[in-house]
Amino acid sequence: MIRFVTLNEGKYREVSGMLEGAGFECEMLAIDYPEIQCDTLEEVVKSSMAQLTGKIEGDFLIDDSGLFISSLGGFPGVYSSYVYQTIGLEGVLRLLQDVENRAAEFRCCFGLCFEGRNVLFVGGVQGMITQEKRGEGGFGYDPIFVPAGAEKTFAEIPTEEKNKLSHRGKALEKVLEFLKEQ
Ligand code: IMP
In degrees to the nearest 10, what's the CA dihedral of 33, 35, 40, 46?
-40
Give pLDDT tens digits for 3-48: 999 999 999 999 999 999 999 999 999 998 888 889 999 999 999 9
pLDDT score, position 33: 87
Q: Which of 6, 7, 81, 130 to mutate to test the pocket of ligand 1 (most atoms within 8 A of CB)?
A: 81
CA-nearest residue, atom 23 of ligand 1: 140
pLDDT score, position 34: 85
pLDDT score, position 36: 85
35 φ, ψ to 5°?
A: -95, 120
pLDDT score, position 12: 97
CA angle 2, 123, 32 (to 5 degrees): 45
For domain 2-181, is the CATH number 3.20.20.140?
no
Q: How far apart are CA 76 and CA 93, in angstroms?
A: 12
Give the Å distance between the CA of 81 and the centre of ligand 1.
Answer: 6
Q: Which of 141, 156, 163, 166 to mutate to test the pocket of ligand 1 (most atoms within 8 A of CB)?
A: 141
Decide: pTM greater than 0.95. Answer: yes
CA-nearest residue, atom 14 of ligand 1: 140
Give pLDDT tens digits for 66-110: 999 999 999 999 999 999 999 999 999 999 999 999 999 999 999
Q: How far apart are CA 125 and CA 49, in angstroms?
A: 24
Give pLDDT tens digits for 135-165: 999 999 999 999 999 999 999 999 999 999 9
Give pLDDT tens digits for 77-87: 999 999 999 99
pLDDT score, position 132: 98
To the query of whether residue 63 is one of the catalytic residues in this protein, the response is no
pLDDT score, position 35: 82
Give pLDDT tens digits for 113-143: 999 999 999 999 999 999 999 999 999 999 9
Q: Which atom of ligand 1 is nearest to the CA of 167?
A: 19
% of residues, the chain, pLDDT over 90: 96
Per-domain residue ranges for the chain? 2-181
Distances (CA, A) of 142 to 1, 132, 161: 29, 11, 13
Q: How far apart are CA 68 and CA 2, in angstroms?
A: 29
